[in-house]
Amino acid sequence: ARWTEESGWGESSVLPYGPLQLSPAAAVLHYGQEIFEGLKAFRHADGSVWTFRPEANAERMQRSARRLALPELPVEDFLASLRAVTAADEPWVPKATSEESLYLRPFMFASEEFLGVRASQTVDYYVIASPAGPYFPRGVQPLVVWITDEYARAGAGGTGAAKCGGNYASSLLGKREAAENGADEVLFLDSETHASIDELSGMNVFALTRDGRLLTPALTGSILEGVTRASILRLAADRGLEVVEQRLVMSEVLDQLGTGEITEMFACGTAAVINPIGSFAARGGSWTVGDGGSGEVTLALRQELTDIQYGRVPDRHGWLTRLV
């Protein structure tokens, strides 16, 4: 669908996958005025296809839109776009037994042909769909996480809480630094004090203490408000864990790994669901989380969340929306 300053949102349609036509002067190519979302469509055993908490993604996309001076897409239109694309691609939704899904990528960008710096008066919204293989083809693998002291992902007053393309462009060198140091993922500290945990390049972070508290960084404005994060806070509270959203100072977390005060850590997001963190590395050291394997509570939360998503247990929080 296309939005113009003059007429608002226009008609939407389902098109075959293929290249887009853009003016070389399209604003997005110069000023990065772009936002996106990521969701999955899951097939259930009876053949029906569902998605997980899409209203949360729709609302997050509206918040991202406000931050990037893009128009808000109504929640109903967002849901209708997921339904239309998934219905058209229904044969591509993997079998219920495969632990695979159809990945849905809604995105919105400034398409006006205009080189001046101002909010674009023409904006396009699309959804692409692609079957997503199992994230862990050989079983869940704990991550090695590199703590970068060189790069920050987001600064105060910036776009860290928005899901905009530029945030990912700025995280690429951190990811490369992690890979060059033999790690799987990069952890960004906050840009102000360079001391507390923000998040990974595409996942939120959690720590479990020996006395049953589940800690995660508070939403300070520089991290993305993950839908998986919010769901885990709920499932953990249901299990009787005390959930705490607070500032997590990296050096204190590393000390608490040493003393055994923190027993498990994991990262979470739509793609990997929940991914155990096995160890941290940084210039000047490395630290093992627990025994370096996958923690018991981490795996139980992962199982519960995927069981809900694939319809294997009752959806007691009403998190699923039927698409097809």
Binding site for ligand PMP (CB under 6 A): 38, 199, 202-204, 224, 226-229, 269-270
- Are β-strands 273-282 and 143-147 bridged in parallel, bridged antiparallel, or unpaired? parallel
Min dist. Cβ of residue 259 to ligand PMP (A): 28
Query: In the bound complex, what is the minimum distance in angstroms from residue 322's beta carbon to ligand PMP?
Result: 20
- Judged by beta carbon, residue 51 or residue 204, the one nearer ligand PMP is 204
C-beta of 38 vs 158, nearer to ligand PMP? 38
Name the residue nearer to ligand PMP (CB basis): 204 or 275: 204
Question: If phi over 0 gives left and psi between -120 and 50 gives alpha, with beta otherwise, what is residue 298?
Answer: alpha
Query: Closest approach of Cβ 319 to ligand PMP, in Å?
Result: 13
Looking at beta carbons only, is 100 or 199 nearer to ligand PMP?
Answer: 199
- Extract the tokens encoding 195: 């001391």
Q: How far is the CB of 204 from ligand PMP (least distance, A)?
A: 5
Name the residue type at position 319: W
Cβ proximity to ligand PMP, 231 vs 263, nearer residue:
231
**242-246 and 262-269 beta bridge pairing:** unpaired
User: What letter does residue 214 receive in the DSSP assignment?
Assistant: E
Neighbours of 294 (CB within 10 A): 21
Quick one: which H or E segment has residue 302?
A: helix 296-309
Instruction: Report the 10 Å Cβ neighbour count for 153.
Output: 26
CB 125 within 8 A of CB 37: no
In the complex, what is the shortest distance from the CB of residue 305 to ligand PMP, in angstroms, rounded to a whole number?
A: 10
